[in-house]
Amino acid sequence: MREGWGKRAVIGVPFIWLLIFFLVPFFIVFLVSLGAPQFSVPPYSPAFEWDGWVPRFVGSFDNYVFLTEDDLYWRAYLGSVQIAGGATLMCLLVAWPMAWVIARATPTWRNVLLLAVILPFWTSSLLRIYALMGLLRQGGLINTGLMWLGITDEPIQMMQTDFAVYLTIVFTYLPLMVLPLYSTLEKLDGTLLEAAADLGARGWQTFWTITLPLSLPGILAGCLLVFIPAVGEFVIPDLMGAQDSPMIGNVLWGEFTRNRDWPVAAAVAIAMLALLVVPFMLLRSSPALRGEA
pLDDT in tens, 17-29: 878 888 888 899 9
> 51: which strand partners?
54
Which of 110-114, 209-213, 232-236 is predicted with the least confidence, judged by mean pLDDT? 209-213
Within-domain flag for 224? yes
Burial class (CB within 10 angstroms; exposed 0-12, middle 13-18, buried 19+) of 106 = exposed
Give pLDDT tens digits for 58-110.
888 999 999 888 888 888 888 899 999 999 999 999 999 999 999 988 888 99
Quick one: what percent of the chain has pLDDT higher than 90?
26
**What is the model's pLDDT at position 168?**
94
Within-domain flag for 121? yes
Q: What is the mean pLDDT of the chain?
A: 85
Cα–Cα dist 89/91, whole Å: 5
**What is the model's pLDDT at position 20?**
84
**Of 87-101, 179-193, 246-260, where does the model show the most confidence?**
87-101
Within-domain flag for 176? yes
Whether the per-residue pLDDT at 140 is higher than 90: the answer is: no
Number of domains in the chain: 1
**What is the model's pLDDT at position 248?**
87
Q: What radius of gyration, in Å, describes the C-alpha atoms of the chain? A: 24
Query: For 211-219, what is the mean pLDDT?
Result: 85
Whether the per-residue pLDDT at 57 is higher than 50: the answer is: yes
Within-domain flag for 236? yes
Within-domain flag for 216? yes
Within-domain flag for 234? yes
What would you measure as the largest C-alpha separation in the chain, in angstroms?
A: 80
Whether the per-residue pLDDT at 279 is higher than 70: the answer is: no
| Residue 231 lies in domain | 66-284
> 49: which strand partners?
56
> Which of the four pLDDT bands, split at 50, 70 and 90, describes residue 293?
very low
> Cβ(265)–Cβ(256) under 8 Å?
yes
Which of 22-36, 45-59, 108-122 is predicted with the least confidence, judged by mean pLDDT? 45-59
Q: What are phi and psi of 97, to 5 degrees?
A: -60, -35
Whether the per-residue pLDDT at 1 is higher than 80: the answer is: no
Whether the bond between 180 and the residue before it is cis, its omega within 30 degrees of 0, is no
Query: For 21-43, what is the mean pLDDT?
Result: 88
Quick one: what percent of the chain has pLDDT higher than 70?
90
**What is the model's pLDDT at position 257?**
85
Query: For 194-201, what is the mean pLDDT?
Result: 71
**Residue with the larger pLDDT of the pair 177 and 6:** 177
> Which of the four pLDDT bands, split at 50, 70 and 90, describes residue 289?
low
Query: For 20-45, what is the mean pLDDT?
Result: 87
Within-domain flag for 152? yes
Whether the per-residue pLDDT at 258 is higher than 90: the answer is: no
Within-domain flag for 55? no
- The CATH number linked to 115 is 1.10.3720.10
**What is the model's pLDDT at position 11?**
76
